[in-house]
Structure 1
Amino acid sequence: MRLWRRELWRLALLAALGTLVGWPLSAPGLGLAAGIGLCLLHHLRQLHALYRWLTRHPQSEPPAASGLWGELFDRLYRYQKGQRLTQQRLRNILQRIQESSEAMRDSVVMLDRHGDLEWWNNAAERMLGLKAAHDRGQHITNLLRDPRFVGYFHARDYREPLTLSSPIDERLILQFQITLYGDDERLVMARDITRLHRLEQMRRDFVANVSHELRTPLTVLTGYLETFGSYLAHDNAASLPPRMARGVDLMQEQTTRMQNLVNDLLLLSRLEIDQGGEDHVRLVIPDLLESVRRDAEALSGGRQRIVVEIDEPGDLIGSEQEIRSAVSNLVYNAVRYAGEGRCITLRWTSHLHGACLEVADDGEGIDPVHLPRLTERFYRVDKGRSTATGGTGLGLAIVKHVLLRHDARLQIDSRPGRGATFRCLFPAARLHRSATEARPARQA
């Protein structure tokens, strides 16, 4: 501010001096103009020096000047020096990020807001076959043409990863994960999970083979126990000590439980291995729910009230065996764990955006801490109670896999003392379009 006032005083002094010089010559205005012109000429010279410095040698020392112009040159020089240091730091950071990305074993691909390729690391070249000379600027779906990836990319729902084979080597199994950032830009990462995939396949094969091999000895054991049990039932029980008779009953009970476990393991293995889809037909949901209700009432033995509610009629496209298995598991769990005297409701609702199949009870409920793990194999909220009820611990895992095969998802709501609600949410693509028109004809 002090320099600015000094510059104003200099202008005023030159104007006054020019006026005094022109006064004896009877031209004070001309003298005033000459004084202001001298001041303007000084500023034009300094402005020209600034222009030459900025356009020719911006990184050199600023021109020598005094007063306001000297302060301006010094400030610009310090600002430029700070900007150069900031730019250098940013370049170093970007270089380190690029070097670390190049060192990653996972593929990293950067896309612009249109989905065109901008940059990728060396791993992307090995796993995806990208070539810098030809592929830069190409749309990602022009290079990764698998319909599943194209659908995953355009769906913009990247909460879950996508597993696919590499486009250049089918033996290589990759897990894709897309992240949105910036101005609708995308970061595509691909991990090599070939080893994990093989281990998972080995686990599935092992469970399937062991379960299959266990069926034969269990069948033999069950047959002999049934024969022995029928022999004791015909007035021969008195010839056997009470402890041995109780042992026969326990063997029959545990053999039945083992058979149920083997059957569930085989079903779960089939759901994991088989792609499905061939047996998908139009399912009349009210009839299916009514059939499940009758089976559940037989299991309950009158201890609970089981009702079916159809809020909006509509048919589903899917596998009748798998959907029946999923619904039965949910209802049977409610029968086992809801408690005596409770009400279990099977509710179906369909609308333009999808459908919901709901199994709700007003029983004891489940602590929310257990909800994220309920669909894990053999996970039990109460191990003692689950063992007593004869459950295998695979029911909800089967439900999850059945829903995944039908493009659906499971939603669980429960609170202690407020019952539990299990919702199977199906997309609109799984509904039969003419279901609402066909329903009156079937009822007639």
Structure 2
Amino acid sequence: MYEPYPVPDLARDHKKFRYSSLWNFAKQDLKLLFFFLLIGGLVGYGMGYLASCLLAAFAFFLFLQLRSLYLVNEWISNRPYDVPPNLNGIWGALLFNVYRSQRQERVVQADMVGLIDRAQSSLVALAEAVVLTDELNQIEWANPAAEKLLGIQYLDRGRNLLSILRQPRFIEYFNDIDKSPDGIKIKSSINDEHYVQIKLTPFGSDSHLLVAYDVTRMQNLEQMRKDFVDNISHELRTPLTVLSGYVETFIDQEDINPRWKRAFEQMQSQTRRMNALVNDLLLLSRLENDKQIAKNQIIDMPSLMNQLFDDAQAYNVDYGHTLNLNIDSHYDLIGSDMEIASAFSNLITNAIKYTPRGGIISIGWYDDQDHGYFMVEDNGIGIDPKHLPRLTERFYRVDSARSRQSGGTGLGLAIVKHVLMQHGAHLEVDSIENKGSTFKAVFPKQHLYCVDHAD
């Protein structure tokens, strides 16, 4: 094995040293002491000064030990990376351990430096922006892409990140990362026509890793899709209205042929379904584009729950379910009554549609002081757990045939998700196949209004 510099004799015998006990090295010092005492004793016995010679021999041995100690200290203090002194005994063992530890440390340091260089080179080559901040939110390091996407330059190191990225939405996100676990999308501070997705990850003691990438193309495609759906939905409303009017006119004719009447009834059913789909698409488009009405209305929850229950009773006529209403909260909701009513109604009608005849459906509103809960529980067909993560995707159906038969549009839960997002809430779903489902809308405390303390 190649050595960068000469190694002491003791250090070369790795195997012997590694598996020898400290006593083996101490015996070298004891043998040396015994040798000096023996020589001193013989000389002193011959000269008649036995005690003095023994004392002199011990003093000489002590001098050698102190000299070794001096050499060890001088090497560790002044020349730790030079070749260590070639000593025997316990001091040699000590030197070898220090020497070996230093070599291992240098190897580890070299590996770490190489790894850091490779990691830094990789980060520099990334098209995504990477920024590191310290406990004071000051920029420690940023790659070149950070300048292109976020306007963070090399000279900005040491500056507060929030003094550069001053968009209110980013500051809000920075102060409450958990509120947006997937990050946020903002306009680039360099180019207003570009959009950047930003994700913050905390590490260490209040430090952060910021990763950002350009999502302009995805944003444009998404906007094109939304505009297309919005425009098509608007364009379909007029012909659907005309078709519905003519179909109703023909159905109302008393002398119509029964065969034609059946055909017109099917046409009426399908036009109603298409009209419901168009209305849902328009509502979803409005929610996604943030074209919402004010969210600061105080919604009278007992009144709303009773209205929803009455509507559910009317819808339930053809299903024959047992409906229960439970209100166990003194809180009202703060938000849009129209959107909240639409979301809750979707959850209730879904439970009615997907529960076999004669089922039991419970509708409730309650709180635990920190959150408000709207709940719909049924003992219907249930949902396979593999479908739960995708339930709120638009047009996603667990059973397409059953959905078409029930007249569903596949947009109900997508609307529910977006309405809840607009109100800072989220949807929780628990379901067991063939046993039933529980859909729970969870609202944060800041969207609750305590009726007991109303002025």
Q: After TM superposition, list the pairs within 5 Å mapping 1:347-386 onto structure 2.
A: 347-386=364-403
The residue that corresponds to 2:442 in the other structure is 425
1:9-49 CA-to-partner distances (Å, cap 9, x unmatched) read 21233245445655677765544443233223223333333
**Which moved further from structure 2: 206-215 or 177-186?**
177-186
2:340 matched to which residue of 1?
323
| CA separation of 1:17 and 1:139: change in aligned 2, threshold 3 A | farther
- Return the alpha-carbon distance in structure 1 between the equivalents of residues 84 and 267 of structure 2: 98
Separation (CA, whole Å) in 2 of partners of 1:334 and 1:255: 24
* CA distance in 2: counterparts of 1:363 and 1:149, whole angstroms: 43
Instruction: Name the SS of the counterpart of 1:315 in structure 2.
Output: strand
Identify if the C-alpha distance between structure 1 residues 64 and 192 changes in structure 2 by more than 3 Å, giving closer, same or farther.
same
Q: For 1:82 and 1:341, how far apart are their aligned partners in 2? A: 76
Question: Contact conserved, 2:295 with 2:423, CA < 8 A, in 1?
Answer: no
Q: Deviations over 1:335-372 (max 9, x none)?
A: 11112111221111124312111111122211111111
Which piece of structure 1 moves more, 15-24 or 200-209?
A: 15-24
1:72 Cα deviation (Å)? 4.2
Distance 2:453 2:89 in 1: 90
**What amino acid maps onto 1:180 in structure 2?**
P
Q: Which residue in 2 is equivalent to 1:180? A: 202
Q: What CA distance in whole angstroms lies between the structure 1 residues aligned with 2:60 and 2:291? A: 90
Aligned partner of 1:136 among 153, 157, 164:
157
Name the CA distance, whole Å, in 2 between partners of 1:355 and 1:367: 27
Letter in 2 for 1:53: W
- Per the TM alignment, residue 136 of structure 1 is displaced from its structure 2 partner at its CA by 2.5
The answer to which of 5-14 and 87-96 deviates more is 5-14
Amino acid of the residue matched to residue 371 of structure 2? Answer: G
Structure 1 residue 50 displacement after superposition:
3.2
Give the aligned partner of residue 422 of structure 2.
405
* Residue 147 (structure 1) aligned to one of 158, 168, 172: 168
Query: Per the alignment, do residues 282 and 53 of structure 1 end up closer, same or farther by CA in structure 2, a change over 3 Å counting?
Result: same
Amino acid at match of 2:385: P
Q: Which amino acid aligns with 1:259?
A: N
Residue in structure 2 matching 1:195, options 208, 214, 217: 217
Q: What SS does structure 1 have at the residue aligned with 2:434?
A: coil
Shift of the 248–57 alpha-carbon distance from structure 1 to 2, 3 Å rule, reads same
Q: Deviations over 1:159-206 (max 9, x none)?
A: 322222223333221112122334554322112111111111111111
Q: Is the 8 A contact 2:251 2:261 kept in 1?
A: no
Shift of 1:209: 0.4
Report 1:259-338 matches (<5 A). 259-276=275-292, 278-301=294-317, 303-338=320-355
Q: Is 1:392 the equivalent of 2:414? A: no
Return the alpha-carbon distance in structure 2 between the equivalents of residues 68 and 280 of structure 1: 81
**How far apart are 1:146 and its partner, in Å?**
2.8
CA contact (8 A) 1:307 1:344 kept: yes
Q: Deviations over 1:268-314 (max 9, x none)?
A: 00000125352530000111011111111111116112222111221
Distance 1:176 1:26 in 2: 92
Deviates more, 1:3-12 or 1:42-51: 42-51
1:437 deviation in Å?
A: 3.5
3-state DSSP of counterpart to 1:61: coil
Q: Match for residue 165 of structure 1?
A: 187
Whole-Å Cα distance in 1 between the matches of residues 251 and 118 of structure 2?
76
Q: Report the CA distance between 1:149 and its aligned residue.
A: 2.4
Is 1:121 equivalent to 2:143 in the alignment?
A: yes
Q: Deviations over 1:365-414 (max 9, x none)?
A: 11111111111111111111111111111000000000000000000111
Paired residue type of 2:312: A
SS at match of 1:178: strand
Deviation by residue 1:139-161 (Cα, 9 ceiling, x = unmatched)? 43333233332332232416322
1:95 aligns with 2:117: yes
Number of positions where the alignment pairs a residue of Structure 1 with one of Structure 2: 431
Q: Is the 8 A contact 1:306 1:345 kept in 2?
A: yes
TM-score by length of 2: 0.88
The CA distance in 2 between the partners of 1:29 and 1:402, in whole Å, is: 102
Q: Contact conserved, 1:113 with 1:184, CA < 8 A, in 2?
A: yes
The letter of the residue matching 1:95 is D
Report percent identity of matched pairs. Answer: 42
Superposition deviation, residue 227 in structure 1: 1.5
